[in-house]
Amino acid sequence: MKKIFCIPLTIFIFYSLAFAKDDILSKIDRRLNPESFESYRKLINIEPDGTKKEFILYTIKKGKDKVASLFLSPKSDQGRSTLRLGENMWLYIPGIAKPLRIASMQSVTGGVFNNSDIMRVDFSVEYTVVSQKKEENYLILDLKAKNDSVAYEKLIMKVKNDLPVQIQCYAGGILIKTITYSKIKDFGNGIVRPAIMETTSPLQKGYKSVIVFARLKPRKLKDSYFTLDFLPKLEDIRK
190-223: per-residue pLDDT in tens? 999 999 999 999 999 999 999 999 999 999 999 9
Q: Is 70 exceeded by the pLDDT of residue 7?
A: no
Chain centre to alpha carbon of residue 127: 12
Give the model's pLDDT for residue 16: 41
80-93: per-residue pLDDT in tens? 999 999 999 999 99
Count CB atoms within 10 A of the CB of residue 163.
15
Percentage of the chain exceeding pLDDT 90:
89
Q: Is 50 exceeded by the pLDDT of residue 96?
A: yes
- Its domain, for residue 80, covers 9-237
Q: Answer whether residue 190 is part of any domain.
A: yes
pLDDT class of 8 with cuts at 50, 70, 90? low
Q: Say if CB 41 and CB 32 are below 8 A apart.
A: no
Q: For the chain, where are the alpha helices, taking DSSP H only?
A: 9-32, 115-118, 123-126
Q: Say if CB 121 and CB 84 are below 8 A apart.
A: yes
Burial 196-218 (b: 16+ CB within 10 A, else e): ebbbbbeebeeebbbbbbeebeb
Per DSSP, 125 falls in state H
pLDDT class of 239 with cuts at 50, 70, 90? confident
Q: Answer whether residue 2 is part of any domain.
A: no
Q: Answer whether residue 226 is part of any domain.
A: yes
Burial 130-146 (b: 16+ CB within 10 A, else e): eebeeeeeebebebebe
Give the CATH number for residue 26: 2.50.20.10
Q: Answer whether residue 221 is part of any domain.
A: yes
Number of domains in the chain: 1
3 Cβ contact partners less than 8 Å away, ≥ 6 residues apart: none
Q: Say if CB 87 and CB 105 are below 8 A apart.
A: no
Q: Answer whether residue 3 is part of any domain.
A: no
Q: Answer whether residue 4 is part of any domain.
A: no
Long-range contacts of 102-111 (CB under 8 A, 24+ apart): 104/149, 104/150, 104/151, 105/151, 105/171, 108/80, 108/82, 109/43, 109/45, 109/53, 109/55, 109/209, 110/45, 110/53, 111/43, 111/45, 111/53, 111/207, 111/209
Q: Answer whether residue 49 is part of any domain.
A: yes
Q: Answer whether residue 133 is part of any domain.
A: yes
Q: Which amino acid is at 102?
A: I
